Structure formats: C-alpha cells, structure tokens
Structure 1
Amino acid sequence: MEYPSKLFVGHMIGGRYKMIRKIGEGGMSHVYLAEDLKLPGKLWAIKESVSDPKLYSSIRDEAQLLISLSHARLPRIVDFFPPDNDGYTYLVMDYIQGITLEKYFSGYRGRIPMDSILQLADQLLEVLDYLHTHEPAVIFRDLKPSNIMLTEQLELRLIDFGIARNYKQEQTQDTVKLGTVGFAAPEQYGSGQSDARSDLYGFGALLLYLSTGGTSSEWTERAERNIRSDLPRQLIPIIRKLLQFAPENRYASAAEVRRELAAAIRQEPKPDPKRMRDIAGRISTQVIALLGAGGGTGTTHTAIAISHYLARSRSKVALVEMNVKSPSFRRIQQIVDGNKALAPGSRKFEVQGVDYWRQTARADVITLLSGSYDYVVIDLGTFRERERLEEFLRADIPVIVASGAEWRQQDILDMVHGLSRYPQQKWMYFLPLAGPDAVQRLRKQLNTSQVFSLPLHIDPFEKSEDMDRALQRIFQGILSGAQRRRRFRFGL
C-alpha cells in the first residue's frame, strides 16, 4: 500500500463507528469491520480510500452510484464521509459475511463443483442485468474472483465498485484505463468505451477461469483443451462468443446470455435416474446420498442403518464418509481395530458386510462407482457444508435427514428454499422419531408425499424389525439391486 491507513482497532469515526479489525485491502483502499454504537450489535464494513486531490470527485461518484442502487446482490451504502485534508474518505456499507470467490476457488484447488459454477454464473448474470438496465446503465468493469463475495449459503455479492461507472453514450472511449489484467475487456485498455458488453467479456473470462481450474481467462486453443470434461458441452460456444475481441461480436445483454445458458443446461443429456446397465449388462452402482438439514438430526446414524439393511439383503455396499469434520467413522474404525492407533492411510474397514470408507474425497467416490458395489451410501454431513452439495444433487436417491420436532422444521424449510433452483422431484425426507402429525405437516408444507418417519433404532449396526419394515416400505420399487438379489435368493 502506498498510503497507510488512518484507522486502527478501537478507533472511531463519526462518533458512531468503532473499528473492530481490518478485513481487507487492495489498490488504494483498506476495509475494516466496525461496530455501530448507535445500533448495538450491528456491524458494518468501512472502506477507507485515498485519492489524489484532483480525483476527489471519483469517490463521491462511487458513493452516489451505490446510493442509487438497490439489489440483493449488491452492498447497501448507509453513510459517507467526504475526503479530509489528506484525501482520506470513508464509505459505510453492508458487512457481508463469507469469503471471496478467490479464496473459495483456492480452497478447492481450482475444482469447484460444476453445479456451483453454474449457480454462481446465473446469479452473476442476474445482478449484471440489473446494473446494465439501471438508468443510467452501470458498468462494473472489474469482474474478478476477489471482487465477488460468497455467503455461507453460496449466495453471490459484488463488493468493490471502485472503478464502476455510468455509461456515457456520447463518450467514445474510457477516460481512465482500469480493470484487472486477464479479466478486463480489450476496450478497457484504450480501444473504445466500456459498456455492458465489456462486463459480459469479464463474465466470460471468469467463467472460463473457473472451468479450466484457473489456467485460462482468455480464449485460445489451449484454453479450450483445458476446459473440464464435466462442463456442459453446449456452454463452450457461449464462452467463446463472450470472449470475442470486438464488442459487436459478443452478446448484447446479460439477459440474453442468461437465457442461452439456461437453454444449454436444459439440453445437456441427463442420466436415467433408474438403475442403468453397462456394456456387459451388469446393473450399475446406485448412489444414496444423505444430507442433514441441521446438526444433530441423525444423518450418520441413518446412513449406517440403511447400509446394513442393504447388506443384509446380500447386496454389496460401501458406506462413504464425506463429512471430513466428523469423528464418527474414525471412532468406529478404532473400535473395530481394538482401539489401536490407526495406520496412516488406512481409511477402509469392514463391519458386518459393509465396507466403510473414512473421510473420502470425490475422486475416490468416482472410483467406487466404477467398482463392484451394488450401492454406495454417502454421508454428507449437514447442509451448511455446501462444498458437498454436488454429490447430493447427482445421487440416484437424495435423502434429507431432518428433525421431526416442530420447532426445528424451519431448518428443512430454509434448506429447501435455498435449493429451490434445483429439481427436487426425487428428493426424500427422513424424520427420525417423528410422529404422524409432524410427517403430515411437512408433507403439506413441501407439497410432496416423500416425507417419512423412522422408528427408534438404538443400534444401527444390528437388525431392527421396525426399521427394516420402514425402509422396505420407503424404498419399495426404488432399490433395484436389493430387489434383484432377494429374488435370486428365493429362487434357490
């Protein structure tokens, strides 16, 4: 930073905002988390910027720009302190809890779940459409991972309007050439004035960057070769058109791109949700994924019970733990091994005919699916761990485990609402120990008959007549492998 910050922990501005800690910096600005002393418990983000005296109007422009905007994916500006004698100025805006897309991407080592990429792309186009149809149109001009925040629910927010500007129709080129190399459109470097199509170029660069594991943000033959195999192929010509050098060769609006993306995704071939046969005629592996609507709902307990129910029908079953923070499988393995220290790399163990896979990565799951298992049951932990959402959505049988207590049913309603953009026809809802009234109430609220109560089952490893009857009733006509093996056994 060329200029040091005047703010520090405990410092107060405006007799109201008390600094708690620094939460970011970049370019010519620092960002602090501040407590509002007039609204106890309320937190704001304070952006401190430094401007050359000749450019004092730019920060005022940013403030006026933000004040004029109102969208759920944009921060609200609630206070503004104009430049002091040294050129320091302060914007008070919404504090958005979450992480930047840059950090989220880094945490995945460049392999964000494809469903998450498509979800973020749609959200970004939504807010760009709002900006571009604003009167006057607002051009963001700096779409990059560090300028995008993600909430815990993977909701997107644009956070830095430092170089955004209103589009001026009479202007032939930008007065100031700004934007991040690799994501900014060519016209932002002097070949013309940036407009809505410049942001669409930035959107295309960002989409390509996410789809190539961070290796490319400009369209080249090498970039196309690096595109992930799970990206819907119909999206490739869309990205290529977004990244055309000449603005007139790109899409005209964010709304148009959003329609094209939605149509391309709908055209992507979908796997048959029923059991499919491979070339050899063998019935392929069926995946059951369990996701808890909240903590303490019994997700792991239910996953174990289902796995051993299937194993007792002479099916070959793998139970996979993808909730890396859970100690459950480690404790089970220690008991199985006689409380000995676990050998490094020893993640597979067997209990009563079920293969347990502890703290398993997605690549390992793909390997299991190509193996000899009839069923792979995946324990995904709770909904808050959104990085495992893709496995839930791709499962043949997605199961949400929730509490039957009335005071906790809001957890499942919030979860379903948060995932409303995804098809939910085959989702099932399990409520351990819930009474008939709770089941009927949730069926009515969710408008589905796929809500089931599970009986008391103290030891999920052992057979329970009540639990077996419940699971047999729930899975009747769905679990092809178990039915096939039961028929074979009875024919002997």
Structure 2
Amino acid sequence: MIHSSKLAYGMVLGDRYRIEQKLGSGGMSHVYLAHDLKLLGRSWAIKESVSAPSQFVNVADEAQMLITLSHPSLPRIVDFFEPDAEGFTYLVMDYIEGITLDQQFKKHPEYITASFIMRCADQLCEVLEYLHDREPPIVFRDMKPSNVMVTPMQDMRLIDFGIARNFKPEETEDTVKLGTVGFAAPEQYGSGQTDSRSDLYGLGALILYLATGGHYSEWMPGMEKFIRSDLPRGIIPVLRKMLQQRPIDRFQNATEAREAIRRAVQENTAPIYPNSFSSAVNMQQATMVVAVIGTASGTGTTHTAIAIAHYLARHGGGVALAEMNGVPGTFARIQSVAGGSSNPLDRKFQIQHVDYWRESARAEVVNLLGGSYRFLVLDLGCYKDNERLEEFLRSDIPIVVGSGAEWRYQDILKFAEQLQRHPQNKWHYCLPLATQEVTQRISKEMETQQVYALPWQPDPFDQHAQMDTALQTIFNSIIPAPIKRKKFRFSLR
C-alpha cells in the first residue's frame, strides 16, 4: 500500500458507521467491516480508497455504476462519501459473509469439487450476462479468484469494481491498461479495447485455474491432460474457445458461453442444473414455495422439511426439496444410503416421488421455480441473520421450527421479535414434541393461532397419521385429505 488508512477500530464514519475490523487491503484501497448505528444489527463493508485529485472521478464513477446495479450476485451500494481534502473516499456496501474463492482454493481445496467448479462457472457466467446486457454494457475486466466471494451457502458474489468500465464503441483501445496477469485477456495489455468477450476470457482463465489445481490459467497445446478427470469432458472445448487469443474467436456473449457450459454438463451426466424435468405435472400451475427455517440448531429443521416434502408428495404433483441450510452434508448422507448416484456432479436424487437437490445455490432455486414442480420445499437451516432470510420472507408458506421444550420456548419469541419489522401474519410456527400448554402459551404471547405441536415421527420419509393431521392443519387450504401410500425403507447397499 502506498497510502496508509485513516480508519481504525472504534472510529465512526459519517456519524453512523462504527469500524469493527479490517477485512482486507489491495491496490489503493482498504475494506472494513462496520456496524450501523442507526439500523441496529446491520453490518456493512466500507471500501476506503485514496487517489490524486485528477483521479477523483474514478471512485465516483464506481459508486455511480454500483448504484445502478441490482443483482443477487453483486454487492449493493448504500452510501458514498465524496473525496475529502486528502483524496480519501468511502463506499458503503453490502457485507458479504464468506471468503474469497482464492482463500477457499488455498485453505480448503477439498471444497473445490467438480460440482463446485461447474456451479462457479454457471453463476459467474450468469452475472456477466447481466452486466453485459446493461446499456451501456459494463465490462468487469478483473475476473480472478480474489474478486469472487463464496458465501457459506456456496453462492458466488462478484466484488471489487475498481477497474470496471462502460463499453464505449467509438474507442479502439482502453486508455488505461488494467487487469491481473494470468487472468486478463490479451487486449487488456494494449492490443485493443476491452469488451464483454474480455470478461469471458477472464472467466475461462479462472475456471481453467480451478480445473488444473491452480497450475494453469492460459490455454496451451496439450492442456487437456492437465484438467481433472471428474469434470465433464465437454467443458474442454468450451474453455478452449473462451481462451482464444483473438476476441472474434471466442464466444461472442455470455449467453452463448453459459449455454455451452450447461450443455457440457448435461451431455456428461444427469444435469446438475435444473433446466428440464420429465415429471408429468401441469406446467401451467405455479410452483408453491414452502420455506422451513429453525430458531436454533438442533430443533429438527431438516427433519421437519423432509416430513413436509413427503407429506406434500403423497398428494400428487411434483415436489422438490432443496438443501440451503449452510451445513452441507446431510443430503449427501441421505443420497448415499438411499442408493443415489455416486457421481459428484449429480446432486439430484429421488426418494418416494420427492426430488432432493443437495447443496443448492440461490440461482439454482430460481431455476427450480421455472420447472415442473407443484411444490418447492426449502430447508434453510437455523436462522443466524443469514442471507437465506429473503427466501423465507418471500415464500408462500413460511414455517418456523422451534424447540418444544419448556426451557427453550422463548427461542421462538425471540426469533419473532428480531424480525418484527417484517409482516408475520402468514408465518406458521411448528414445535416438535411440544406440550399443549407450551403451544397455547406461545399462541397467546404471539397473538396468533398458527402455532402447532408436531408429534414424534422417527422416520420422516414414512406416513404418520398424527403428523399428517398436524400438517393438514397448515396446508388445508391448498391440498385435500392425505392419501395412504406404501411405506418406504432404506435398503443398505
């Protein structure tokens, strides 16, 4: 760093943002975590940049660019401080929980699975598609592992728009040559103006870097033998095309590239992206979303989500159960016991007419809504002010799972209090093993009749008369009485 920072722990920026810790540094900027003194409980990331007076417009341009963007894979800017007398400016934006892709690759290489790499390629291609479709198009110009955040739910977030620019068709080359060696397209070194195809080169370099264990980011003859064998072989010509030296020889837009990536996966194995389904369900019927979230760990959130999914499946139509709980592994264990595919790319398996989607990212869930399912059940895990709250709040039937124990019933009251700014009239509160006294007490304190005790059900895949009765109370307006089906039993293989 050429310049030291003016911020420090405990300082308050703009009479509102209290600095808590430094998150990172690079180039000409520092990034800090700050707590909002007006919106209690909210945290933000503050990017401090410093530049000469002649460069003040660059930071202002970045702020103006971010203000216009609205995409789940991009940070949202909420405040901007113009350059002070010393040239320091501050961008206040969403704090994205997680680590960079670079950190995950170096510290947790075991997480960089074939499935993860293909999901990374799809999600980043999708956000580039959004940026390039803007008017004028926005070219990111610095696609590299340290500029991608990986959330606890394994969603990708594109960060640091410090050198992004609007495409200007009247220019023949960039005024300033910027980019990261190893990931930047050839034209970023002076041979022409960068455009959307430059970002596709950068994405290809990033994926090749992951696919070769960090050894290569540039295509060379014989590169095929260095790409990990568990990736779809169809990804090889895709990467080769993305990494062509001349922009005219690459994919001409992100939509083309994304379609090629998906074809490579689908031709290799059962699709890891939910684009097409064979279920014979009424395609005109909108998918109803049931979101299940727990007030704390150990309350039985996943168990309840599974029971609900199989209850709904017994009433016909397609049901999908998506794992979005921040602790991947449970669905993988279920898949192995149930005899699902051992292919790491195949994250979909079926048990008794329920399609399980393990380790689901937000982008994939959006695609599920466009499929042939009548119901989509989301297992959101336990609430910790996490980013999955949006899925809970937007669902058709939000279900809160709390402990039925006498000494823990306050958890559900605290949960409702923390989220009191959100309408709660359609929320349903489920208490496994709760007594009638506890249920009545919570109903009275929360002034709602939508509190239900769930009976003991050791096998959530199986039909259970008392559980059916409890769930029928919740779903009585949308489904008929239960249909009995043959019991399901795991067969160990």
Question: Scaled by the length of structure 1, what TM-score is found?
Answer: 0.63
1:79-125 CA distance string (max 9 Å, x none): 11111121111111111111111122223326612112222211111
Shift of 1:269: 3.7
**Corresponding residue for residue 82 of structure 1:** 82
**Contact 1:208–1:216 (CA<8 Å) still a contact in 2?**
yes
> Against the structure 1 CA distance between its residues 6 and 126, is the aligned structure 2 distance closer, same or farther, given a 3 Å change threshold?
same
Report the AA paired with residue 136 of structure 2.
P
Shift of 1:414: 12
**Contact 1:399–1:429 (CA<8 Å) still a contact in 2?**
no
Shift of 1:226: 1.5
Provide the secondary structure at the position in 2 that maps to 1:157. Answer: strand
Alignment of 1:280-299 (within 5 A): 295-296=297-298
Among candidates 449, 453, 461, match of residue 430 of structure 1: 461
> Against the structure 1 CA distance between its residues 414 and 431, is the aligned structure 2 distance closer, same or farther, given a 3 Å change threshold?
farther
Shift of 1:382: 9.8
**Corresponding residue for residue 307 of structure 1:** none
> Against the structure 1 CA distance between its residues 97 and 446, is the aligned structure 2 distance closer, same or farther, given a 3 Å change threshold?
farther
Shift of 1:384: 2.3
Shift of 1:424: 11
**Corresponding residue for residue 112 of structure 1:** 112
- Distance of 2:482 and 2:121 partners within structure 1: 31
1:157-216 CA distance string (max 9 Å, x none): 111000000001111111111111111111101111110000000010111111111111
**Contact 2:462–2:487 (CA<8 Å) still a contact in 1?**
no
Moved over 6 A (4+): 297-301, 387-395, 398-401, 412-417, 422-425, 431-434, 441-447, 449-452
- Distance of 1:252 and 1:243 partners within structure 2: 12
The reply to whether residue 151 of structure 1 matches residue 151 of structure 2 is yes
The reply to whether residue 474 of structure 1 matches residue 476 of structure 2 is no
The reply to whether residue 49 of structure 1 matches residue 49 of structure 2 is yes
- Distance of 2:491 and 2:475 partners within structure 1: 22
1:244-295 CA distance string (max 9 Å, x none): 0000000001011111111221111459xxxxxxxxxxxxxxxxxxxx9974
- Distance of 1:184 and 1:54 partners within structure 2: 26
The reply to whether residue 228 of structure 1 matches residue 228 of structure 2 is yes
Report the AA paired with residue 396 of structure 1.
G
> Against the structure 1 CA distance between its residues 124 and 417, is the aligned structure 2 distance closer, same or farther, given a 3 Å change threshold?
closer
Provide the secondary structure at the position in 2 that maps to 1:436. Answer: helix
**Corresponding residue for residue 450 of structure 2:** none
Provide the secondary structure at the position in 1 that maps to 2:6. Answer: coil
- Distance of 1:50 and 1:194 partners within structure 2: 25
> Against the structure 1 CA distance between its residues 209 and 171, is the aligned structure 2 distance closer, same or farther, given a 3 Å change threshold?
same
> Against the structure 1 CA distance between its residues 251 and 168, is the aligned structure 2 distance closer, same or farther, given a 3 Å change threshold?
same
Report the AA paired with residue 261 of structure 1.
I
- Distance of 2:350 and 2:474 partners within structure 1: 13
**Contact 2:104–2:111 (CA<8 Å) still a contact in 1?**
no
- Distance of 1:451 and 1:260 partners within structure 2: 43
Report the AA paired with residue 339 of structure 2.
D
Provide the secondary structure at the position in 2 that maps to 1:473. Answer: coil
The reply to whether residue 251 of structure 1 matches residue 254 of structure 2 is no
> Against the structure 1 CA distance between its residues 399 and 242, is the aligned structure 2 distance closer, same or farther, given a 3 Å change threshold?
closer
**Contact 2:114–2:231 (CA<8 Å) still a contact in 1?**
yes
The reply to whether residue 262 of structure 1 matches residue 204 of structure 2 is no
- Distance of 1:297 and 1:216 partners within structure 2: 46
**Contact 1:48–1:91 (CA<8 Å) still a contact in 2?**
yes
Provide the secondary structure at the position in 1 that maps to 2:172. Answer: coil
Shift of 1:297: 6.2
Report the AA paired with residue 327 of structure 2.
E
**Contact 2:211–2:227 (CA<8 Å) still a contact in 1?**
yes
Identical residues among aligned pairs (%)? 49
**Contact 1:113–1:387 (CA<8 Å) still a contact in 2?**
no
> Against the structure 1 CA distance between its residues 440 and 207, is the aligned structure 2 distance closer, same or farther, given a 3 Å change threshold?
farther
The reply to whether residue 204 of structure 1 matches residue 204 of structure 2 is yes
Gaps of 5+ in 2: 272-291, 304-322, 341-347, 378-458
Provide the secondary structure at the position in 2 that maps to 1:430. Answer: coil
Report the AA paired with residue 253 of structure 1.
N
**Corresponding residue for residue 240 of structure 2:** 240
Shift of 1:396: 2.8
Shift of 1:299: 11
**Corresponding residue for residue 62 of structure 1:** 62
**Contact 2:28–2:49 (CA<8 Å) still a contact in 1?**
yes
> Against the structure 1 CA distance between its residues 445 and 168, is the aligned structure 2 distance closer, same or farther, given a 3 Å change threshold?
farther
**Corresponding residue for residue 325 of structure 1:** none
Among candidates 303, 314, 339, match of residue 396 of structure 1: 339
- Distance of 2:361 and 2:475 partners within structure 1: 15
Shift of 1:228: 0.8
Provide the secondary structure at the position in 1 that maps to 2:46. Answer: strand
Shift of 1:388: 7.8
| Alignment coverage as a number of residue pairs | 352
**RMSD, matched Cα:** 4.1
Question: Scaled by the length of structure 2, what TM-score is found?
Answer: 0.62
- Distance of 2:159 and 2:36 partners within structure 1: 20
- Distance of 1:95 and 1:213 partners within structure 2: 29
- Distance of 2:157 and 2:324 partners within structure 1: 24
**Contact 2:153–2:324 (CA<8 Å) still a contact in 1?**
no
Which shifted more, 203-212 or 240-249?
Answer: 203-212
Gaps of 5+ in 1: 272-291, 302-380, 402-411, 453-469, 482-492
**Contact 1:204–1:243 (CA<8 Å) still a contact in 2?**
yes
**Contact 2:10–2:18 (CA<8 Å) still a contact in 1?**
yes
